[in-house]
Amino acid sequence: MPDLCPRFHGIAASLAFALGAILITVTPATPETAGSSAASSSSVPTLAPMLEQVTPAVVNIAVVSKAPAEDNPLYSDPGFRRFFDLPEQQQRARMSAGSGVIVDAARGYVLTNHHVVDGGAEISVTLKDGRRLSAKLIGSDKETDLALLQIDAHNLTAIQIGDSDALKVGDYVVAIGNPFGLGQTVTSGIVSALGRSGLNIEGYEDFIQTDASINPGNSGGALVTLDGKLIGINTAILSPAGANVGIGFAVPSNMAASVMDQLVSHGKVERGRLGIGIQDLTPDLAEALRLGDLRGALIANIEPGSAAERAGLRTGDVVTAIDGRPVHGSTDLRNRIGLTPAGNKVSLTVKRGDDEQIIAVTIAAEEKALADVSGTPLEGAKMRDASDAGSQVGGSGVVIESVASGSAAAQSGLRAGDVIVAVNRVPIASVAELRRTIAEKPAIVALELIRDGGRLLLVVR
């Protein structure tokens, strides 16, 4: 066994030397030194003044939902219950907790996550001052994982919504929420990345990534800047253990504000579309097209008779801005058009060859004819035929329009934007063909996909 004593004695000697040095330098405090010490301590940076203004706007949310009393699937079989003369199943209450943010004190509006309140039979909100209030669900949007509640109370404090487009990587941020149901908790960090997508958390993804600690129960809470402005709604973490490892995601405040406006007006989000197929203008692609360091979304194809065709957009155009605000890529363009109500006009800044043009487009309504292949490894994926007029891809195959978080499709690795062109080496031209093939229940399903312009095989079971 190794002798630890020499190491211990070395450490002890070092500590003694350090303490001796400290004792030698300590002197009685004179009035001058005491005053200077107080002045120094008062200048220590602190978030307390900002938090005193902001934290009353962050609330705890408790949700009561109903769940079957028995988990055994036999008890759900009516024939089984009749045979054994079993009484009807009783539902039991299930409790869950999350966070929310008061964004309008006069009207009592509280922003939170869709998954926090989804399926809730009763929703209550607890304010920082201890008041517990019943909450009404105004509307919810699964695709962005946002929901809007309303409470009826006086003397509420609302948070000011900031401009998430002004964020930069490295900006300091503060996360406020109710982790693990402990009560209001504040953590801090920086913006680690912007525009995160492809995580299969939501249908419309444009996340702010932060290393501020976000844990279960923080969902729906506030991500704020150091001047106390709301720039995100905390939504998810990426962790193999289910707890914070420094990778958290928040829905940007600009997206949240757009969704909230529609939930107030319609109780739901009515999405718009242009009728185009788009892809990111990568540096390599920009170089190949001799576009220099231009950034934006490249129009790969245009549907006949679409809003884009009527406005005069062309294949090969690069959309660089919407209403003067820069477009950072295809996901950004899709999100912003999708959150623009049908009938609204937007101005697209378009690079066409050496010319830059401003083109006005009237947004069309998103078509609702999306299919789902239930009871299969693809369940939870909304899809349509690539040849459908509602598709932004064109050609043959099946387009994955969205993938529900936690669904079988998400666990299988499918992503929104994937195009399934073959199953077990058999070409697939439509959702109907895909459904027939999957219905045969092969032991292994090998999907041939087109993703981000490349082909890959995805094996699901």
Token pair 């003694």: residue: 16
Distance between CA atoms of residues 312 and 352, nearest Å: 12
Whether the CA torsion 377, 380, 381, 385 is positive or negative: it is positive
159: helix, strand or coil: coil
Q: Which one is catalytic: 145, 317, 385, 418?
A: 145
14: helix, strand or coil: helix
The answer to whether the CB of 333 falls within 8 A of the CB of 277 is no
Amino acid 454 reads G
Buried b (16+ CB within 10 A) or exposed e, 306-327: bbbeebebeeebbbbbbeeeeb
Q: Which residues contact 364 (CB under 8 A, 6 or more apart)?
A: 272, 273, 274, 275, 306, 307, 342
Residue 120: DSSP 8-state: E
Amino acid 156 reads L
Paired residues of 318 in beta bridges: 298, 351
Whether the CA torsion 188, 194, 200, 205 is positive or negative: it is positive
The answer to whether the CB of 397 falls within 8 A of the CB of 337 is no
Q: Respond yes or no: is residue 9 known to be catalytic.
A: no
217 carries a ligand binding annotation: yes
Q: Which one is catalytic: 99, 114, 115, 385?
A: 115
Give, rounded to a whole angstrom, the gap between the first and last alpha carbons of the chain.
Answer: 52
Residue of 294, 361, 363, 299 whose CA lies nearest to 326:
294
Q: Which one is catalytic: 164, 197, 219, 306?
A: 219
Distance between CA atoms of residues 215 and 245, nearest Å: 9
219 carries a ligand binding annotation: yes
Helices H, strands E: what count in the chain?
11, 27
Residue 201: DSSP 8-state: S
Q: Respond yes or no: is residue 328 known to be catalytic.
A: no
Q: Respond yes or no: is residue 258 known to be catalytic.
A: no
218 carries a ligand binding annotation: yes
Distance between CA atoms of residues 366 and 274, nearest Å: 9
**Residues of the binding site:** 115, 145, 217-219
By annotation, the residues acting in catalysis are: 115, 145, 219
**Residues of the binding site for substrate:** 115, 145, 217-219
